[in-house]
Amino acid sequence: MVGIELSGSGVGRRRRRSADERRRVVEETLEAGVSVARVALKYGINANQVFQWRRLYQEGKLGAPGPTAMKLLAVNVADEEEHAKAEPMDVLAASFGAIHIELPGEVRISVEGSVDPAIIRAVLKSLRS
């Protein structure tokens, strides 16, 4: 039997990446419609490693996020009756702003200005089914 030595081939070697590099990779995976597996392949990293970095990122353990980092907000969906009791229609009619929702599968919802809450409820309800 002949043994083959693979010294210098890179087999079994690990590349150490800085927190900044890891943070940039993670932030790339947080963009809408981006596949973690494809980003990992692009950088020659195991996808499971990228998921671990994402957990560290969410815990704030990869340093301060860059200026373009996505910020996530908590959202609660309430029943119609519950919502009607919680906020009078006067407050809803007087409010002005913009809401942009992006869901997997290229579903994008943009709501600007004063909109009837019943319409928004109907749209969100249709997305659930």
Residue extents of the structural domains in the chain: 12-71, 80-128
- Rounded to whole angstroms, how far apart are CA atoms 121 and 123? 6
Cβ distance 29 to 39 under 8 Å?
yes
**Does residue 21 or residue 123 have the better pLDDT?**
21
What CATH number is given for 12-71 in this structure? 1.10.10
Taking the model in full, what pTM does it have? 0.43
Which residues are 57's β-sheet partners? none
Positive or negative, the CA dihedral 40, 45, 51, 53 is: negative
Nearest to 32 by CA among 103, 121, 92: 103
Identity (one letter) of the amino acid at 89? M
**Does residue 33 or residue 119 have the better pLDDT?**
33
Percent of the chain with pLDDT over 70: 66
Cβ distance 115 to 89 under 8 Å?
no
Contacts of 51 (CB under 8 A, 6+ apart): 36
